[in-house]
Amino acid sequence: MASSEIDFTRTLPADAGAPLIDPFGRTISYLRVSVTDRCDFRCVYCMSEDMTFLPKRDLLTLEELDRLCSVFVGQGVKKLRITGGEPLVRRNIMRFFEGMTRHLESGALEELTVTTNGSQLARHAQHLADCGVKRINVSMDTMNPDKFRHITRWGDLGKVMQGIDAAQAAGLKVKINAVALKDFNEDEIVPMIEWAHGRGMDLTLIEVMPLGEIDEDRSDQFLSLRQVRASLLDRYTLTDLPDRTGGPARYVRIEETGGRLGFITPLTHNFCESCNRVRLTCTGTLYMCLGQEDAADLREPLRASESDEPVARAIQNAIARKPKGHDFVIERARHGDKGNPAVSRHMSVTGG
Ligand SMILES: Nc1nc2c(ncn2[C@@H]2O[C@H](COP(=O)(O)OP(=O)(O)OP(=O)(O)O)[C@@H](O)[C@H]2O)c(=O)[nH]1
Ligand SMILES: C[S@@+](CC[C@H](N)C(=O)[O-])C[C@H]1O[C@@H](n2cnc3c(N)ncnc32)[C@H](O)[C@@H]1O
Ligand code: SF4
Ligand code: SF4
């Protein structure tokens, strides 16, 4: 079998079933997988313009990714989010989605989903829906085409909009993610709420996090969502909702629009105590926390044996080292420390 082909006959490992529980008693049921570090955009808060991406030979093949994800599913992972870089630019990525469908069909996996910049969505939306994807997150920080080109360095907002149209036409539930950026989209938050809710989409606002070196100073970008929420109260009635998606967002209902608005505030609100996730990179490195450097190599045990046992054991050992939480320092993000981010890798390595 060619290495890029997926063995659809492979089911869960024989020793499946041992749940992943970390030292703080948190059950790990959510795996975020960055299938590529490459991207067709260069969002200014995420990457520098001149990025060096991994050589292709370092990447896990799609078959290896399939095998690794299947081991996680065998160990109790119920939710899989495919991210990147831009996941939809990875060659033949739809074959990977097709492969994961078997775990949805067996009931072992409850949710298969994707976070995308939307640039390639128009051509993949129907296929994603056919693979059992029900909802997706699309990142979009502005509705102004010129500002969009500026923030992504060269992205085409029209294509993203076509992608969102195609996703909704395919029956996918769409959530829009927008990073709240000082002096950039503060004045667009209300129009984006009206637009998203008018189309039946949730909107989630994200605070900038200090990950990876970029060309700009993050102190110029940081906008506190506490401040945003306070200013929205002048206009809207916000009702706190208990809703949880398995993600870190805290939601409110905006009574005037009837839609949901999420806030992801990793710096000002600590949601680590209920953390349920770990992150796998496209090279098979497992990060036990978005905000820490510690990681475990799963590629070596994966390649060392035909049996899934060594890698299953390596995953258990890694979970036993999962830290309590991140050490993001608000002041560092707010006042800047351009040359010294809290975590040296870019967000695109783990996919957020
Ligand atoms: N600090 C921290 N931030 C996170 C974590 N998970 C997600 N985020 C942030 O949330 C952003 C949006 O994540 P998404 O990929 O849309 O996923 P999500 O919000 O978990 O998705 P839902 O399943 O829709 O709740 C990420 O880019 C990160 O910025 C986490 O575990 N810790
Ligand atoms: C790294 S991207 C990967 C998936 C895809 N390319 C996209 O943009 O949706 C995932 C999310 O991380 C967010 N993100 C990237 N860098 C960030 C940072 N430094 N702080 C906060 N969010 C960031 C993006 O806005 C996006 O919503
Ligand atoms: S946020 Fe997503 S689209 Fe933007 S540069 Fe990072 S990986 Fe690419
Ligand atoms: S920062 Fe780390 S511990 Fe906290 S929610 Fe994110 S991954 Fe979990």
- ipTM, two decimals, is 0.96
Residue nearest to atom 18 of ligand 1 (CA): 247
Cβ-in-10-Å burial (0-12, 13-18, 19+) of 224 comes to middle
325 pocket-lining for ligand 4 (C-beta < 6 Å) = yes
DSSP letters spanning 303-322: HH-SSSHHHHHHHHHHHTT-
Ligand with minimal distance to 247 CA: 1
Regarding beta strands 285-287 and 295-297, do their DSSP bridges make them parallel or antiparallel, or are they unpaired? Answer: antiparallel
Delineate the domains of the chain, giving CATH numbers in brackets.
30-175+273-350 (3.20.20.70)
Residue nearest to atom 23 of ligand 1 (CA): 247
Four-point Cα dihedral 58, 311, 321, 278, nearest 10: 60
185 pocket-lining for ligand 2 (C-beta < 6 Å) = no
Distance CA 47, CA 275 (A): 26
Residue nearest to atom 6 of ligand 4 (CA): 290
Q: Is the pTM of this model over 0.95?
A: no
Tokens 């401040």 locate to 227
Distance CA 246, CA 243 (A): 9
CB 154 within 8 A of CB 122: no
281 pocket-lining for ligand 2 (C-beta < 6 Å) = no
Instruction: Name the CA radius of gyration of the chain, rounded.
Output: 20
289 pocket-lining for ligand 4 (C-beta < 6 Å) = yes
Q: Which of 316, 281, 317 is nearest to 299 (CA)?
A: 281
Regarding beta strands 250-254 and 238-240, do their DSSP bridges make them parallel or antiparallel, or are they unpaired? Answer: antiparallel
pLDDT tens by residue, the chain, 352 residues? 444 455 544 544 444 457 999 999 999 999 999 999 999 999 999 999 999 999 988 999 999 999 999 999 999 999 999 999 999 999 999 999 999 999 999 999 999 999 999 999 999 999 999 999 999 999 999 999 999 999 999 999 999 999 999 999 999 999 999 999 999 999 999 999 999 999 999 999 999 888 888 888 787 888 999 999 999 999 999 999 987 766 678 899 999 999 999 999 876 556 788 899 999 999 999 999 988 899 999 999 999 999 999 999 999 999 999 999 887 754 454 444 444 577 888 888 888 8
CB 80 within 8 A of CB 111: yes
| Contacts for 304 with CB less than 8 Å, ≥ 6 apart | 310
For 66, the token pair is 């399939």
User: What is the three-class DSSP state of 198?
Assistant: helix
CB-defined site of ligand 1, < 6 Å: 81, 83, 115, 137, 175, 177, 206, 209, 245-249, 264, 266, 275, 277, 290-291, 326, 352
Which atom of ligand 4 is the closest one to the Cα of 274?
5
Length of the chain: 352
Which of 53, 86, 185, 206 gets mutated to test ligand 2 (max ligand atoms within 8 A of its CB)? Answer: 206
CB crowding 324-342: b at 16 or more within 10 Å, else e? ebbebeeebbbebbeeebb
DSSP-assigned beta bridge partners for residue 264: 206
User: Tell me, what amino acid is at 165?
Assistant: D
